[in-house]
Amino acid sequence: MADLIAGFDAGQTHTRCRLANAGSGAILVEGTGPGVCHLASNGGPEAFRRALRLSLAQALEALPAGAGGSLLAAAVGASGIEGGSAVQVQGLELAAAALALPSQQLVVTGDERTALRGAMGTAEEGVVLISGTGTIAVGRNRQGVEHRCAGWGWLLDGAGSAMDIGRDGLSASLEMADGRRPGSVLRQRLWHALDLDPEDPGAAAAIKAQVVQPGFGAAGFAALAPVVLACAEAGDACALAIVRRNATALAAMAAAISRRLSLERPPVWPLGGALSHLALLRLELELALARDLPAARLEPPAADACAGALSLAREQLELRRR
C-alpha cells in the first residue's frame, strides 16, 4: 500500500481528482465529480464540498485492491478563489472538512494558479493566458513571485474572452440594424444563430429581451463567438476588428505580467476553449505578441491543471515533513 496525494481541478462543469503516489509522484488514477460555483453564490459551499468528496470517492474506487493508503496532502484549484481573500480561507475550511485533512496538509487556490504550475513543467518562469467563456492570466518568475491580470468577472473584465467576442459582435449587429454602422454579413449570421429573422422589424427588441434572461448570461454571449470568428475568416471587416481587439487584450495581459515580474523571454502558454478552438483568435494573438512583447514565445503547456495541483500538494507535503 502506498500513501497518496491528490490534485483537484474544480471547474464550473465538472471536477477532476487525480491521485498520485506520495513518495514517487507516480500518477495512479483519476476520478470525476460535479462542478463548482463561486463560494459566495447561493449553494456555493455545498457544491464545493460535494464536488471534492465525490470526485475523490470515484478516484479511490478506481484504485486496484490494496493499492491505496492514507491521503497525506491535497491541492485544489477552483474557479473564483482569490489568493489572500476570505473566500480562500472559506475554501480551505470546506476542503478540510470534505477531505478529512488538516488545513496544514491542504492548498486551496484559484484554478489559474494550478493551470500555471501544470503548464510550467520544469520551466522556471512564464505566463499562462486562459481564454474561454471568461479570461485570466497569471505568471511566475524565477524567484517564485506570481502576478495575475484580468479575470475580475464577466460583468467587469472579459476582454480577450469568447464572451466579449460574442457580445461585441452582437452589439455591433444592433448598431448595423439602427444605422450607426454599415451592415454586413455579421448581423445576418448572428441573428440567425439566435433564431431570429434579420428582416423582422421586431428582431432587435427580441435580442434585447433575450440577453437579459437568467439563462443567457456569459455563456449565451460566448456561444456566439464562433459565429464572429467565422465571419472574420470570411473577410468581414467588423468581425475581424473584434477578433483583433480581443487578441490585443490578451497580449496586453502577458506584457503587463512580464513587466511586473521582469520576465525577459517568457514562454506564454495559451489555454482555454477559445484559444484551443478558435484558430483565428490564436493567430491574431501570435501577431499581437510579436508586436507588443516580441521576446515572448507561444508554447504548448507541459501538463494540465491537475498536474499543477499535484505539484502544489507535493510541495505542501514536503513543507510539513521539514
32 vs 18: CA distance, rounded Å? 9
219 vs 209: CA distance, rounded Å? 16
Q: What percent of the chain has pLDDT over 90?
A: 89
pLDDT (0 to 100) of residue 102: 95
* CA-wise closest residue to 300 among 277, 267, 273, 253: 267
CATH class (in words) of the domain with range 2-122+302-321 = alpha beta
Specify the CATH number of the domain 162-298.
3.30.420.40
Give residue-wise pLDDT tens across range 195-205. 999 999 999 99
138: cell is: 497569471
Task: From residue 268, give the alpha-carbon distance in Å to each of 250, 273, 285.
Answer: 11, 16, 11
Beta bridge partners of 19: 6, 29
pLDDT (0 to 100) of residue 298: 95
Query: H or E element: which one contains 257?
Result: helix 237-261
Place of cell 454571449: 221
> Which residues, 6 or more positions from 173, have their beta carbon under 8 angstroms from its beta carbon?
186, 187, 190, 191
Which of 37-41, 135-139, 309-313 is predicted with the least confidence, judged by mean pLDDT? Answer: 37-41
Band of residue 312 on the pLDDT scale cut at 50, 70, 90: very high
pLDDT (0 to 100) of residue 154: 87
pLDDT (0 to 100) of residue 35: 93
* CA-wise closest residue to 82 among 112, 47, 45: 112
Q: What's the pTM value of the predicted model, to 2 decimals?
A: 0.90
How is the chain split into domains, by residue range? 2-122+302-321, 162-298
* CA-wise closest residue to 310 among 44, 4, 92, 3: 4
> Which residues, 6 or more positions from 103, have their beta carbon under 8 angstroms from its beta carbon?
92, 93, 96
> Which residues, 6 or more positions from 119, have their beta carbon under 8 angstroms from its beta carbon?
126, 128, 269, 271, 301, 302, 303, 308
Give residue-wise pLDDT tens across range 223-251. 999 999 999 999 999 999 999 999 999 99
**Would you call 215 helix, strand, or coil by DSSP?**
coil
Say if residue 160's pLDDT is above 90.
Answer: yes
Say if residue 1's pLDDT is above 70.
Answer: no
Band of residue 2 on the pLDDT scale cut at 50, 70, 90: confident
172 vs 183: CA distance, rounded Å? 9
Q: Within a 10 A sphere around the Cβ of 8, how many other Cβ atoms?
A: 33
Q: What is the mean pLDDT of residues 246-260?
A: 97
Band of residue 269 on the pLDDT scale cut at 50, 70, 90: very high
162-298 and 2-122+302-321 share a CATH fold: yes
307 vs 322: CA distance, rounded Å? 23
Q: What is the mean pLDDT of residues 66-84?
A: 88
> Which residues, 6 or more positions from 307, have their beta carbon under 8 angstroms from its beta carbon?
7, 18, 117, 118
Say if residue 12's pLDDT is above 90.
Answer: no
Query: H or E element: which one contains 69?
Result: strand 68-78
pLDDT (0 to 100) of residue 225: 98
